[in-house]
Amino acid sequence: MKTFMAKTYDKMCDAIEEWCKKFARLVSDAQKVENQYFEHLQNNNTECKLIEQVSSYSRNGYATPDAYQLEAKFFEMDYYQLGGDPYSVSKHNFSNKEIIDDIKFLQESMVFFIKTLANVDYKGVWNDIGEIIKEIYKTAPNNQIANLMAIY
């Protein structure tokens, strides 16, 4: 019989797996838009015609987290590696608190990025992409992640 923690973990994993499938749809639809631009290449295939105004998140007053801080966090937690081990990750034993804090930081950053993208006004060829991003935002597995973090 599974423990409460194991069941909570399984629920989180299932929710994340379902959520990730939406990103695959997003990539597919983004490639469709990209292909439309490739079909309109000009000047020896060095430029493409602007089919539709590219949506911008800055017009709606939203901002994304500092990507540099997010990237640094991935290096600090050894998701990415640099030569010379500048973060001394190889010698570091991560405590449960550090792991939980890192997960919370990454989740919060993820929510801000997706919220910003979900509040962009997508038009024309970008409309389907906007709908998928809004669905991704609405179905983010925040509760399942929070439930697991609460156990710790």
Domain count, the chain: 1
Query: What CA–CA distance (Å, rounded) separates 74 from 6?
Result: 26
Give which of 131, 110, 121 is closest to 59, Cα–Cα. 121
Beta-carbon neighbour count of residue 43 at 10 Å? 7
- The sign one gets for the Cα dihedral 81, 147, 131, 28 is positive
Number of H helices, E strands in the chain: 5, 2
Backbone φ and ψ of 72, nearest 5°: -60, -40
Query: What CA–CA distance (Å, rounded) separates 86 from 61?
Result: 36
| pLDDT value, residue 59 | 62
| pLDDT value, residue 60 | 64
Per-residue pLDDT of 88-130, as tens digits, reads 777 778 888 888 899 889 999 988 889 999 988 899 999 999 9
Given pLDDT bands bounded at 50, 70 and 90, which one contains residue 10? very high
Q: How far is CA 130 from CA 42, 58, 145, in A?
A: 27, 15, 25
| pLDDT value, residue 16 | 92
For the cut 90, the answer to whether the pLDDT of residue 28 exceeds it is yes
Contact 109, 70 (CB under 8 A): yes
Beta-carbon neighbour count of residue 102 at 10 Å? 16
| pLDDT value, residue 17 | 94
Domain assignment of residue 12, given as a range: 4-151
Give which of 149, 140, 137 is closest to 16, Cα–Cα. 140
| pTM, full prediction | 0.79
